[in-house]
Structure formats: C-alpha cells, structure tokens
Amino acid sequence: MKIKLLYLLLSISLYASCSLPTIPTQDSLSVTTSNNELKIINRSNKTIYLFVFEQKVAELIDWGPHFNKPNVGKNSTTKIPLTNIYDGSNNPVTAGDKIIIYYWDDTNKTRPKIFSKLIQL
C-alpha cells in the first residue's frame, strides 16, 4: 500500500513539473511605473508581444494575440507613457487605475501561450 501511495505522489509530481510554462514565463516580464510611464523589462531570450489596457476596458474590447508592435525584444526594455493608456471613459489612466498587460512570444503563432500581469497605479 505504501508503495502505491509513493508511486501516486511521484506521478503527480512529475506530471505537474512537465506542465510548467515555457518561455515566456510569469517571471520573464517585470513591470514598474515611474515618471508617468510603464517600464517593461523582458528577461527572456525571445521577443515578447504585448497588449496593454486599463482593467475596466477589458469587458469592452475583443482582441486576440498578434505578432507586430508593441513588442519588447529579447533581454531588453521598453517604456509606454501612461498617457497612451486609456480608461473606459477615453481618459488617460491615473493613480488608482489598474492596468492589464497580456504578453506572449512567437514560439507557437497558431496558439500562443498568453500570460498576464495586473498593475495598480
């Protein structure tokens, strides 16, 4: 009985480790805000593509991943002015607003794995 339980635990552990995300990962992208801009750092060895918007706008838009700009080159940084990100009332985001950043790479252009970060200003 103990051997069966050990086998089950090992199987679950191996299955979980095989299903961990590949590049990019949750930690591939870091985001900070300063000087009225988002600073986005790509720590992976792949170009990462972005879709950035204010959280309230999420229910108003229909989007899908694309492979053009904006993007962040491998191991590089980009900055997005907060004045370029609008809330649901067509005003630039301000302190207290929440911004969603969806990001993905071009490893699989048919079905990219999409990650997200939520940033509160």
The pLDDT profile of the chain, 121 residues, written as one tens digit per residue, is 555 544 545 455 544 444 434 455 667 889 998 889 999 999 989 999 999 989 988 888 888 888 888 789 989 999 999 999 888 788 899 888 999 999 998 888 888 899 999 999 9
Q: Quick one: tokens of 9?
A: 């635990």
The pTM for the full model equals: 0.74
Burial 77-90 (b: 16+ CB within 10 A, else e): ebebebeebebeee
Q: Does domain 21-120 have CATH number 2.60.40?
A: yes
